[in-house]
Structure formats: structure tokens, C-alpha cells
Amino acid sequence: MKLGFLVDLDLCMGCKGCEVACKVENEVPLSSWRLRVKYVDQGVYPDASRTFTPLRCNHCEDAPCEQICPVSALHYLDNGIVNVDKSRCIGCAGCMMACPYGAIYMDPETNTADKCTYCAHRIEGGLMPACVVACPVEANIFGDIEDPLSNISQYISKDKRVQVRKPEKNTKPKHFYVGGGQAQLNPLAATREDGYSLFSNITHLKHIGKAH
Amino acid sequence: MVEHVQNINNAVVTLDVALPGIIWGWMITLNMWAKSIATGVVLVGGYLFFRYKDEKGGVPGIKTIIPIVAFIFLNIFLLFTLLDLHQPFRMINIFLHPHFTSAITVGAWMASALTGIIAYMSFLVVVKKNTTGLYETLLKWAIFLSVPVTMYTAVIMGQASARELWQTPAELIQMMLAAFLVGSATLAFFSPKWSKEAKRDLAIILGMSAFLSFTIYMGEYFLSWKLAEAEATMAYVHSGGEYNMLFWAGQIIGFILPAIFSFMATRNGSAPLLQIAAILSIIGLYMAKHVWLVIPQLLSLS
């Protein structure tokens, strides 16, 4: 069994239900996120549009974070999940430097690295990840990518638009996207103007290094 | 903040979470800098010792200088490695639960072994006052271990897949050159009573290391990149963004001026000139290393 995630960006409406559910389920501290929804605006008025892209750990088959972790705090589970053992983490931040997707954060309360685990604790009990349950439009599709009959495998085999983030990194992500394009998945393809995001002018975390 | 090299259809990120700032900052720079001095003194000092030990004049005091200076700077390196951890008391896990695919683990083990050897050499010099036999055997082992200890940080940077600017072959060479540069620079302060030949060797090592380091940095700075994120990072520095001034200050103070002064010192044997080159290279290397460490972290990864 190899668990994977697929987000249908055509369905996602940016409600952030998944983000909130993840926060609550995993008691993610303030100023930290395991899963977040990025808004990207494209085009020029009146021909403008807004897209929504949930971003989380990609649970790569060749995970750079697992390789660089000096104490195996980041490790693979048999079902393919890249899990974190917070009690072992020394807080060297090597994983944060290695993850090409910026999916790992330093928990300001425990001073250890943390990230999305596909809700490994829920899966162990036969439950779906919290974000999957919370999604009102079933844009988050989760399941066994080695089972050809699973919903996610059907999606991957039928939809020609399935893609992963940064395939050139050769990390073999197990997190897929349908719909969307470079502007959503490639950070270099969209302008990120400091201080001009909707709702917030806080652009950098102060508890991790200095702002720049 | 480094951003958009290929903005598609006026795409703008209009809502996202706050991003982490500089994750590996000045403590890691200090770590690399101090390690370069420690291993550089062992490598260059070891060369001078075996090259001139039987010659008249030679390199007096080198047997004491090598272990004492290396011991001090290895401990600075280890102290700041520890302080930079968010859970410093769990450092022991590297030995209790080692994960040997990680260059951090391999490096920590090798650096610990080197520190042990250097500590025992210091003990032999300071307490036992015996620098024959075992001392020379330990020195050979220290020279041997200094090579991987110098280079393992480059392997860590190579394993940091998110930072494309750090290319493993180039970083490996830069780490070795940095060790030769500041190793010879540190020894230059002890060199006034050394033979003319030994001083000339020091000046050549310092000058060549500075020149080659500068050449590689310029290659990375000006020649085209095949990786989009590295290209974006360099384009940001090129365009006069943050760290542009520090980058050039590091290159001039750390490499260009020391190369010129040390080549002049090889011609006229001037010890003060060599020491000026030494001071500049020790300061400039810190600046150059810091810029190279920080700039790829300005890039948003998502």
C-alpha cells in the first residue's frame, strides 16, 4: 500500500475548510501551518481570475528531508507516509533546508520540526485525514495509489492533466494536482509582493530567523 | 525577497501564510568559518611541518601551534553547531540514533573524532611536553580526517535540495579552498620567525586559494545557470538586491586584495604584507560565506 493525495484544483473554491480542520485536528500552533491554501490572481481586469491551491507535504518517495535528517526523526511508514518523531528531532532545520516545497516548519512550542503526516494517527484508526473530511466539494482525494480501483488511482489514470510540484527535483512526490498550471504550482511564476497580501501584512515569521 | 522570473499572465500571490525568514543564519556561517580555520591550520601546518621539520630555521613552534589553534577553533565550531540547534540537549541523538545517509551525522562523527585527536595532541604538547612518536602519528591521522571534516558541510549543502544555488562539486572545492585560505592566513601570524621558504610557501597557498575561490565565485555569479531557482537567486543579487554590497565586499576583502598582497609577499618576502593579506582574508571569507549561505534562503519555495 502506498498512500497518496490528489487535489482537483478545478473543484477547490478556497474555503480554507481543510486548513482549519488540519489546524484543529493536529493542534498546529499559531503562526504555523501543515496545510495552507494559496490564492493566486491572474489576468488583467475585466479578464481576471482567482485560483486556489492547497499546499502540504508531498510525502515524496525519495524524500530529501528523510535523507538529510541526522537522527531519523523523519522516517517512512510502511504505507509510504513520511512521518515525524518529534521526540527524537534535534531541531537542526536540515529538513527545512532540504524540502523543495517549503512544507516543513519549526514548531515554536516544541522547538522541533513538524509537517503534514497525512493524519497518520487517523489513518491508523481507519479514518480519513481531517482535511479530506472537511472539504465540502471533495477536491481532496486520498487513497492507495497502488490499488488500481481506488478513487485516486482512477483519477491519475484517466485525467491527462495530473501533475506534481517541481518534478525536476526527482523527489517522486505522492501528492498530485489536477487542473491549475505553472502560476499555481511554480513559485517563480507568480509575483509575491511583500505586504500586499489580502487580509495580512505579516509576510515573514519572526520566530524563525530574521525577516528580510 | 527573490521572486517571479517568469511571471505568467500577471500572476500575483494574493493570499498566503507568512513565510519563514533566514533559517540558517550567522551561527552557521560562524560554524563554517571556524571549522575552516581549524582544519586549514591542520592541513597547511601539517604540510609545513613535514616539509621543513628537518631543515635549519624551518618552522619553529609549529608542533604547538597546530593542536592549540585547531583545538580552539574546533571548539568554537562545535559550540555554535550546538547553539544553532533548536533542541541542543538532544545532540546526543546523533550518536544514539545515527542516520548515516545524512551528511550531518557523518560530519558530526568525523568532527568529533578529529576533535578527540586534536585534544590528545594538545595534551601531549601542553602537559606531557612530548612531541615525538605518538604525536606525529596522531598528526597524520588529523591531516587525513581534516579533509572530510572540511568538506562535509558542502555535502550537507548538496543534500539541501531546496537550495539550488549550492552545487556539490563547486561547494566541495570552495570548502577546501576556504580551509587552505584561512589556515594559511592564521599561520601567517606565527610566521615572522620561520624560514624564508616556509613564509613563501604560506604566501603562495594563501594567494592561490584566494585567487581560485574568487574565480569559482565569479563563474557561479556570471556564467549562465541551468537551474531556474539558482538563476532567480543570482538575478536578485545581480539586480542590486539585498546582500549585493556584502557579496562584493566579501569578494574584494576576502579574495582579491589577499591574492594581490600575498603574491607581492612572495616576491619581496614581506611579513607585514602577508599578515595584512591574512587579516583581510579571514574577515572577507566570513562575509563571502555568509552571503552564499543566506541568499538562496530568500527564495519562496511554494
- List pLDDT tens digits, range B234-256: 888 888 777 899 999 999 999 99
Q: Would the pLDDT of A207 be above 80?
A: no
Nearest to A187 among B93, B298, B301 (CB): B301
Mean pLDDT over all residues of chain A? 91
**Are A190 and B242 in contact (CB < 8 Å)?**
no
The answer to whether the CB of B171 falls within 8 A of the CB of B103 is: no
The answer to whether the CB of B174 falls within 8 A of the CB of B216 is: yes
**pTM (predicted TM-score):** 0.91
Average pLDDT over residues A25-42: 92
pLDDT tens by residue, B170-196? 999 999 999 999 999 999 999 988 998
Domain ranges of chain B: 26-298
Which top CATH class is B26-298?
mainly alpha
**Are A98 and B162 in contact (CB < 8 Å)?**
yes
pLDDT tens by residue, A130-171? 999 999 999 999 999 999 999 999 999 988 889 999 999 999
Average pLDDT over residues B30-38: 97
Higher pLDDT, residue B105 or A194: B105
Nearest to A212 among B24, B105, B298 (CB): B298
Distance CA B176, CA B180 (A): 6
Percentage of chain B exceeding pLDDT 70? 96
Query: Is the predicted ipTM greater than 0.85, yes or no?
Result: yes
**Are B86 and A69 in contact (CB < 8 Å)?**
no
Domain ranges of chain A: 3-189
pLDDT tens by residue, A103-116? 999 999 999 999 99
In chain A, residues with a C-beta closer than 8 Å to the C-beta of B158 are: none
- The DSSP output letter for B128 is I
Nearest to A42 among B9, B105, B298 (CB): B9
User: Nearest C-alpha of chain B: how many angstroms from A40?
Assistant: 4
In chain B, residues with a C-beta closer than 8 Å to the C-beta of A89 are: 87, 90
Evaluate the omega torsion of the peptide bond into residue A46 and state whether it is cis, within 30 degrees of 0: yes
Cell numbers describing residue B131: 612531541
**To probe the interface with A, which of B31, B297, B302 has the most A CB atoms within 10 Å?**
B302
pLDDT tens by residue, B185-225? 999 999 988 998 999 999 999 999 999 999 999 998 887 66
**Are B301 and A102 in contact (CB < 8 Å)?**
yes
The residue behind cell 513520511 is A82
Q: Which CATH number fits domain A3-189: 3.50.50.60, 3.40.50.720, 3.30.70.20, 3.90.120.10?
A: 3.30.70.20
Q: What angle do CA A145, A148, A152 make, to 5 degrees?
A: 45
Q: Would the pLDDT of B283 be above 70?
A: yes
**Which residues, in sequence order, are CB contacts of B294 under 8 Å at separation 6+?**
B22, B24, B25, B243
User: How many CB pairs below 8 A link A and B?
Assistant: 220
Distance CA B278, CA A88 (A): 42
